[in-house]
Amino acid sequence: MLVNYEVTESVAVLTMQQAPVNGLGLPLRKALREMLHKAFDDATIKGVVLTGGEKVFSAGADIEEFEAGLDGPNFADPYLGSLVDLVEAAGKPVVAAISGVCLGGGLELVLGCHYRVADSSARFGLPEVNLGILPGAGGTQRLPRLIGVEGALDLIVSGEMVDCERAVSLGLIDRVLVDEAEGTAVKKAVQLALEAASSGHWPRLRDVVIRMQANELSQLIEAKIATLRKPLPAALQCIDAVSWSVTLPFEEALGKEYAALRELMASAESQALRHAFFAERRAGKIQGISREVPVRAVTSVAVIGAGTMGSGIAMCCANAGMPVMLLDTSEEAVQRGLQGLAANYGAAIKRGRLTTEVADRRLRLISGSTDFSRIGSADLVIEAVYEDMAVKESVFRAIDSFAQPDAILASNTSTLDLDAIAGFTSRPQDVVGLHFFSPANLMRLLEVVRGAKTRDEVLASAMQFARKIGKVGVVAGVCDGFIGNRMFEEYLRQAYFLLDEGATPLQVDRALEDWGMAMGPLATMDLAGNDIGLAIRKRRKIEQPDRPYSAIPDLVAEMGRFGQKTGAGWYRYDPVTRKRQADPEIDSLVLEYGARNHIARREISDEEIVARCLFALANEGALILREGIAQRASDIDTVYLNGYGFPAHRGGPMFYADKIGLPNVLARIEGFQAGYMGELWQPASLLTELGETGQSFASV
């Protein structure tokens, strides 16, 4: 039964029970309609309480149903909007009793109720904009009538969740339970329904008239638009829709909201954002390992290496409430690491992101030591030392001798062979890669690297640890650069060749940034350090002497222009604002290099820049997929969306290639073969096969 029906003191309590999150798919909507009618038609029932039980109210419309398109079950009768209308028009009071998340269509259902009671576990939000749509079941019209236009704009346009306390201050709920002694939210809601029934009056949000001067409304709208960096259609449509709550009659506005929802639903942005949502959740599932595999609990962590990366990892653990020990070989290094951590927390307090109390609590969880025998108490040991095999060897031999028998031993290596590292221990089955991205405390991505001998339970435990510290874990196999950096190298190589041929650094970065990348490739290298790029290329020259690179980035790095940290790289940086500025010195270096090497320069379009860089990503992604380094194409997308500033509304490099159509991508790559450095463009066999048969990466 999807909706449980129970009567308490002449009040019908309807409990949604559609696991896992009471997604309001067609079956649940039908069940709700049936039970609502049952309650309305029963003369002995005085009021109705609508709840989702004690864990979750509802996460909104069933996003899985969206894929069926505009004729799919989401729009079938009863449409969620008409269910909300049914609740609101009831001849008896309907009270929502809310615990846990109450999102999207779930909150819209609650707005149709006459009263709202919540307990302190409740979280509210209209995250539709994150899926490229707008609240389409009356949310854009009822929310401003409840909490005002400004508050509604904030909530709807940001898509953010607010906790119960904030919801009270916004005026979103009528009664809140902070104390268990008061009973459950349902009990309180039953009382409220009885009170309303006996008063014979219960308010309907549709009846509220918002009085606001036109200029006040336009000021609010302009201010909101000004906060959007690169507004997507959904955000702008949300703003428009909220304004209709002031300017249009309720029913007319609902009709427009519905039409806007359908239009957005079919948009490329929404499809990509929905893909990103499911890709992230799919990434958490490990192929070949059942959900039942026992996982090792990680309750304390030791991090070896107190540099920037190690300190950032220690912060991640402390932020998740885990005690963590930061180790290094010298007391000085340990102290530097601890001071860096404290400074980071201090900066977060200053920016208002953290209270002093919370920061202190987290800092108290972190201790420092030079005594490696102390890692014996940790469930997980993470090595984050210098990227050098000899250094890793000595660290892993030490870890092996001190770590407890059940400990998980992890390396943060980004380029070295994890299997070789595992071979330095007597227990390679307990070794896994945990490749954090810098700054580790902020970046969401964590590549969880499965070595040849990594045991299933160790991999599953590492993925659970990723979730525990709020990261998006993606399983990767062992290869140089794993998923993300291996692909990035191809992307970067194209960016550099484009300079050889005629583009300027600013043109390359702008083309990709205008397309949606958070930062262009050259600006990214200025942030990461051009010295690091140089070191990698030097290593490549030894390992693969025939692998061609443009020499321009070497010239830039050899000038000491390492990027932001030296105030200059591909660009000059303002010492105060850190704003980049194109540098004529670099432009002439690029020109001279072309002339010296007799490379004919030509006009390169932004479209070509984007295509070359992105198809280089997708082509390498295809190799990675075929080699089994990534489990699925959507995992590759998740890596790029969470670790490389790939725009969510483009869905990731593999999704983007699928959308363009693999036959078209293949044809384009074949075209590149005729151009500069054309011999480097070897379409991956998987891409060729899929392209020739008209299939997609998603089908693999």
Please, are residues 468 and 571 in contact by the beta-carbon 8 Å criterion?
A: no
60 counts as binding ligand HSC under rule CB under 6 A: yes
Instruction: Draw the binding track, 215-254, toward ligand HSC (x: CB under 6 A; -: no contact).
Output: ----------------------------------------
CB of 282 to ligand HSC, least distance (A): 7
User: Does the footprint of ligand HSC cover residue 64 (CB under 6 A)?
Assistant: yes
Q: Which helix (H) or strand (E) holds 665?
A: helix 662-672
Cβ atoms within 10 Å of 289's Cβ, excluding its own: 15
Give the nearest distance from C-beta 135 to ligand HSC in angstroms: 4
Part in contact with ligand HSC (CB under 6 A); list of ranges 27-35, 53-61, 524-532, 541-549: 53-61
- The phi-psi region of residue 563 (left if phi > 0; otherwise alpha if psi is between -120 and 50; otherwise beta) is left
Instruction: Give me the DSSP letters along 100-146.
Output: SEEETHHHHHHHHSSEEEEETT-EEE-GGGGGT---TTTHHHHHHHH
Q: Is 398 in the site for ligand HSC (CB under 6 A)?
A: no
Contact between 144 and 210 under an 8 Å Cβ cutoff? The reply is yes
105 sits near ligand HSC (criterion: CB under 6 A): yes
Confirm if 471 and 315 have CB atoms less than 8 A apart: no
Host H or E run for residue 255: helix 250-265
Kindly tell me which residue out of 33, 54, 63, 217 binds ligand HSC, with binding defined by CB under 6 A: 63
Q: Please indicate whether residue 603 is annotated as part of the active site.
A: no
CA distance 681 to 669: 7
Distance CA 124, CA 100 (A): 9
Q: How far is the CB of 347 from ligand HSC (least distance, A)?
A: 28
141 and 98 Cβ atoms separated by less than 8 Å:
no
Structure tokens at 676: 């500069």
Segment 508-512 long-range contacts (CB within 8 Å, at least 24 positions apart): 508/609, 508/613, 509/570, 510/606, 511/606, 511/607, 511/609, 511/610, 512/609, 512/610, 512/613
Tokens of 417: 């062979």
Active site residue 128: yes
DSSP states of 169-229: HHT--SEEE--GGG--HHHHHHHHHHHHHHHT----GGG------HHHHHHHHHHHHHH-S
Query: What secondary structure, in 3-state letters, does 507-529 show?
Result: HHHHHHHHHCCCCCHHHHHHHHC
- Residue 470 or residue 560: which is nearer to ligand HSC going by CB? 470
Binding letters toward ligand HSC, positions 266-295, x by CB under 6 A: ---------------x--------------
Distance in Å, CB of 354 to ligand HSC, minimum: 22
Q: Which is nearer to ligand HSC, 281 or 578 (CB)?
A: 281
Q: Does 52 bind ligand HSC (CB under 6 A)?
A: no
User: Which of 445, 441, 377 is CA-nearest to residue 641?
Assistant: 445
635 makes contact with ligand HSC (CB under 6 A): no
SS3 category, 348: helix
Give the residue from 382, 389, 446 showing the smallest Cα distance to 409: 382
Q: Where are the alpha helices (DSSP H) in 469-565?
A: 484-501, 505-515, 521-528, 530-543, 552-558
As measured in angstroms, the least distance from the Cβ of 33 to ligand HSC is 14
Could you say whether residue 23 binds ligand HSC (CB under 6 A)? yes
Told to check if 364 binds ligand HSC by CB under 6 A, we report no
For residue 304, the one-letter residue type is I
Question: Virtual CA dihedral for 633, 478, 410, 362, nearest 10 degrees?
Answer: -30
In angstroms, what is the minimal distance from the CB of 21 to ligand HSC?
5
Using CA atoms, how far apart are residues 682 and 684, in angstroms rounded to an integer?
6
- Is residue 101 close enough to count as binding ligand HSC by CB under 6 A? yes
Q: Does 111 bind ligand HSC (CB under 6 A)?
A: no
Catalytic one among 108, 280, 489, 620?
108
Q: Does 59 bind ligand HSC (CB under 6 A)?
A: yes
List 3, 83, 102, 103, residue binding ligand HSC (CB under 6 A): 103
Measured from the CB atom, is 265 or 334 closer to ligand HSC?
A: 265
Could you say which residues in the range 115-154 bind ligand HSC, by CB under 6 A? 127-128, 131, 135-137, 139
According to the binding rule CB under 6 A, does residue 473 interact with ligand HSC? no
Strand order in the sheet with 445-450: 366-369, 324-327, 301-304, 380-383, 408-411, 431-436, 445-450, 472-477
Q: If binding is defined by CB under 6 A, does position 428 make contact with ligand HSC?
A: no
Q: Taking CB under 6 A as the rule, does residue 80 contact ligand HSC?
A: yes
Under rule CB under 6 A, residue 443 binds ligand HSC: no
Shortest CB 280 distance to ligand HSC, Å: 8
> Which listed residue (54, 67, 128, 269) is catalytic?
128
Q: Would you count residue 393 as binding ligand HSC (CB under 6 A)?
A: no
Beta carbon nearer to ligand HSC, 101 or 409:
101
Task: For residue 20, state whether it binds ligand HSC (rule: CB under 6 A).
Answer: yes
> Measured from the CB of residue 272, what is the shortest distance to ligand HSC in angstroms?
15
> In this complex, which beta carbon is closest to ligand HSC, that of residue 285 or of residue 361?
285
Q: Interacting stretch for ligand HSC, rule CB under 6 A, among 17-25, 500-508, 513-521, 605-613?
A: 17-25
Q: Which is nearer to ligand HSC, 61 or 90 (CB)?
A: 61
Q: Considering only residues 477 through 496, tell me which ones interact with ligand HSC, judged by CB under 6 A.
A: none
> Annotated active-site positions, please?
108, 128
| Positions in the binding site for ligand HSC (CB under 6 A) | 20-21, 23, 59-64, 66, 74-75, 80, 101, 103-105, 108, 127-128, 131, 135-137, 139, 265, 281
